[in-house]
Amino acid sequence: MVVRVAILDDYQQVALTTADWSSIADQIQVDVFTDTLSDEDSLAKRLEPYEIICAMRERTKFLPLLLDRLPNLRLIATTGRVNRSIDVNYARKKGIYVSGTGNGGNSTVEHIWTLIMSVARHIVLEHINIRTSNPQWQTVVPMGLAGSTLGLIGVGRLGSETAKIAKVFGMKVIGWSPHLTPERAEAQGVEFIASKQELLSRSDIVSLHLVLSESTTKIINAADLDLMKASSFLINTSRGPLIDEAALVEALKNKKIAGAGLDVFEQEPLPLDHPLRFLDNVTLSPHNGYINETSYKVFWTSTVENIKGYLDGKPRSLLE
C-alpha cells in the first residue's frame, strides 16, 4: 500500500531536488505545498489524508488542536534537532512519531553578519539608489565597525560565534541575558553587562540570540528602544516575538534608532501590507538565516532516511 506524504512550506521547491528519494519512491505518494496556511480549519482539511508530514522547521505549528484533527498521521518528519512548534509529548501520546535531522553548516552565523554588514554599510539603500538611477552617487556614510560596540543579548552558541567574528573586525563585544553569568561571558571573550538597559545604551549594534519563551517574549519593548543610541542598529535572527514589533516600527519611523536588520517576524510570511515593508531604514530577509545549500542537503537527505526508517518499522532520530 502506498503511503501518502505531504511536504509543507517548501517555498523554494527544493525538498525533492536536494535529496535522493529513489530508495522510497515506490512506497510513497508525495504532495508538495509551497504556501503556509494559518487558518486551522483549512490546514486540517489539507493535511487530513496524510500518514507522513514533512515539516520545515517552525513554519507550520502542530499543536494539540490540530493533531486531534489528523487521524491518519503517524510520522512528522521535521528538519532540525528542535522544533518548538510541534507538541512532541502530545504527539507521542497519540502514537505519532516525530523525527528530526542535523542542521548542517553554520548558516545562521553567516546570515547574522550579512545583516550586520548590510545595515552598517547601508548596502540595500545604496543598491536601490544605483538601480533607480539616483543622480546622487553616494548618499550615506557607512558605520565603521572597528572600535564600535556590539551588544549581544544572549551569549550561547550563536552569540559566542558572532562574538568571535566581531573581534576580527576590531569590535568591542559586550553581553547580557537573563541567565548570563560573568564566568560564562568571560569564557566566551565577552564583557559581562549586568543589565539589559546598560547593554542597550552602550551598544552601536544590538544582536538578539535568545530562545523564545514566555519570559523572553517582547524582551525588547518601546522603553528599551528609547535607551538605544540614535545611531545604533538592531539585528534579530532569532524569533520575531522577542521584539515588540509595533514599537520597533514606531522607533524606525521616528528615527529613534538608525535602522534594523530583521530575518524573523511576529507573523510569517510577513503580510504584504506590513509597515516594515515600506521603511527605508530596515533590511529584511524572509527567515532564511538557518538555510543554505549545505543545510538543505542535510535536512532533506536525513528526512528521506527518517521516512525510510518509519516505513521499515524502525523509526529513527526521534525527538524527545
**pLDDT digit string, tens, across residues 164-191:** 999 999 999 999 999 999 999 999 999 9
How high does pLDDT run on average in the chain? 96
Alpha carbons 4 and 49: distance in angstroms, whole number: 7
pLDDT in tens, 268-290: 999 999 999 999 999 999 999 99
Whole-Å CA distances, 133 to 5, 125, 136, 137, 138: 49, 12, 9, 9, 12
> Which residues of 195-288 form beta strands (DSSP E)?
205-208, 233-236, 259-262, 282-284
Q: To which H or E segment does residue 301 belong? A: helix 293-311
pLDDT in tens, 47-96: 999 999 999 988 999 999 999 999 999 999 999 998 989 999 999 999 99
pLDDT of residue 320: 87
Quick check: helix, strand or coil at residue 300? helix
One-letter amino acid at 301 equals T
Using an 8 Å Cβ cutoff, are 299 and 16 in contact?
Answer: no
Note if 268 is an active site residue.
yes
Alpha carbons 24 and 320: distance in angstroms, whole number: 26
Q: To which H or E segment does residue 77 belong? A: strand 75-78
Note if 287 is an active site residue.
yes
Using an 8 Å Cβ cutoff, are 57 and 78 in contact?
Answer: yes
User: Taking the CA of residue 212 as centre, how many other CA atoms within 13 Å lie in the half-sphere pointing to its CB?
Assistant: 19
pLDDT surpasses 80 at 105: no
Alpha carbons 154 and 259: distance in angstroms, whole number: 20
Q: To which H or E segment does residue 128 belong? A: helix 123-131
Using an 8 Å Cβ cutoff, are 46 and 33 in contact?
Answer: yes
Distance of CA 35 to the CA centre of its chain: 17
Look-up of cell digits 490540530? 66
Using an 8 Å Cβ cutoff, are 84 and 133 in contact?
Answer: no
- Beta-carbon count within 10 A of 121 CB: 16
pLDDT of residue 269: 92
pLDDT surpasses 90 at 38: no
pLDDT surpasses 90 at 104: no
Alpha carbons 235 and 108: distance in angstroms, whole number: 12
Q: To which H or E segment does residue 53 belong? A: strand 52-55
Alpha carbons 248 and 195: distance in angstroms, whole number: 20
pLDDT surpasses 90 at 103: no
Query: Active-site residue among 57, 59, 111, 287?
Result: 287
One-letter amino acid at 69 equals R
pLDDT surpasses 80 at 10: yes
In our burial notation (b when 16+ CB lie closer than 10 A, e otherwise), range 223-235 reads: ebbebbbeebbbb
Mean pLDDT of 219-242: 98
pTM of the model: 0.91
Q: To which H or E segment does residue 152 belong? A: strand 149-153
Query: Active-site residue among 57, 122, 202, 239?
Result: 239
Query: Active-site residue among 74, 198, 268, 274?
Result: 268
pLDDT surpasses 80 at 37: yes
Q: What are phi and psi of 205, to 5 degrees?
A: -135, 130
pLDDT surpasses 80 at 16: yes
Whole-Å CA distances, 119 to 228, 260, 282: 16, 7, 8
